[in-house]
Structure 1
Amino acid sequence: MTHILLIEDEVKLARFIESELNYEGYQVSIAYDGLTALMATQKFHPDLVILDWMLPGASGLEICRCLRNTDAHVPIILLTPEEDVNNRNPGLDAGANDYVQKPLSIEELLVRVRTHLRYKQQDGTTDVLKFEELILNRRTRIVYRGQRLVKLTTQEFDLLEYLLMHPRQIITCDRILEEVWAYNFIGDANIIEVCIGYLRLKLEANNERRIVQTVSGVGYVLDK
């Protein structure tokens, strides 16, 4: 499910936007100040950010710069009260992709959200891979399952990354050996079985549902 981070200190407005986004099928997290927003970004790696220009403690401009420094690809839409379009240029220079004027039209905001998410999907360059509640950041090499941090070895991370790049596709052991560890393997694929075993232990540490499935005699598939 597409995850949107909404950074807005007006509680009533934030709840209204959240309900409209939920109705459209998006998952929404709300941050009411800059510090909470930055922590939420690091934790959830949202697919899109809606950012108010005026925030307590730090300006939307400062938060925008911080967000862009930590994620080069996430679309950022500014909510700005400014009537003069030239006053929005600093926000765009700071890394925002677009802006919507307040008092906002929710229809206009939803159109902008859909547009930028579509551009992101077409671009194909993303640091974050997701499947269900599993989130993997390829740049920081951090993995979360829900809100739980999952610490993986290099080999486990590379294997999970490859499975996340091909969700619901059966991947043979030979293909894993050639494309994940980049060598031709002679003999059985015990190395993969061992790595899968450790990966499952870490992904299911809190009795979560198994998502790395075995396809007997063939290989593995990421599926629920």
Structure 2
Amino acid sequence: IDIGGPAMVRAAAKNHAGVIVLVDPTDYDAVLAEIESVGAGAVSAETRRRLAAKAFGHVAAYDSLVAQYLRVDDHEFPHRLAIGGELLHNVRYGENPHQRAAVYKLLAPGPVVGVGSWHVHDDREMSYNNYLDATAAWGCAQDFAGQTVVIVKHTLPCGVGASDDQVEAYHRALAGDPVSAFGGICAVNRVVTSAMVGAIGKHRFDIVIAPGYEDAALASLLKRKNLRV
């Protein structure tokens, strides 16, 4: 647990009126360019405040990790809860088209989980609602040990189908509400097969989410316009 480093960063950030504090290497070039153009003493107050805010956020995220580590065996709810996150990327829009949104991964001991661990093929952009619905569909599919297909629209399941045969599981899920399933999210808790992609046919989904895909199945899905995989 580092004490001196965070203390120096906090002190520098507190005194940002006279100190340039850098905790992110991606800021180096911009700050160097400003120093070279106007001199270190003339770096703008706006830049100093922005860097100070980033420094305090950096230290706070570190402290949140230490706190999580120390209470790993404590099953009581903490009186104060600090949660650190790291920006992964911006998304197309928020809950409504005029709103902004971004995806963060939770800073916590152990492997990355949740949307922070997802890989969107072909880097097709997702919206906040895409992530929200996909999380609901994926969470529901993970509740079942056997092979299961879940179709969700606006966070609510349209249908859930289970079968040793993936195509049959898909048909059972679709039968729950084939009308509302249009434009929904299809989650599968097994590797998606080419046979299931064939069963989907021309049905429109916004997202198909699964732990993996057969090569031919993935290639076929990525040919579909406006489908995120």
* TM superposition score category, shorter chain reference: under 0.3
* Higher radius of gyration, 1 or 2: 2
Q: Which structure shows the bigger proportion of residues in strand conformation?
A: 1
Normalised TM-score (structure 1) = 0.26
TM-score under structure 2 normalisation?
0.26
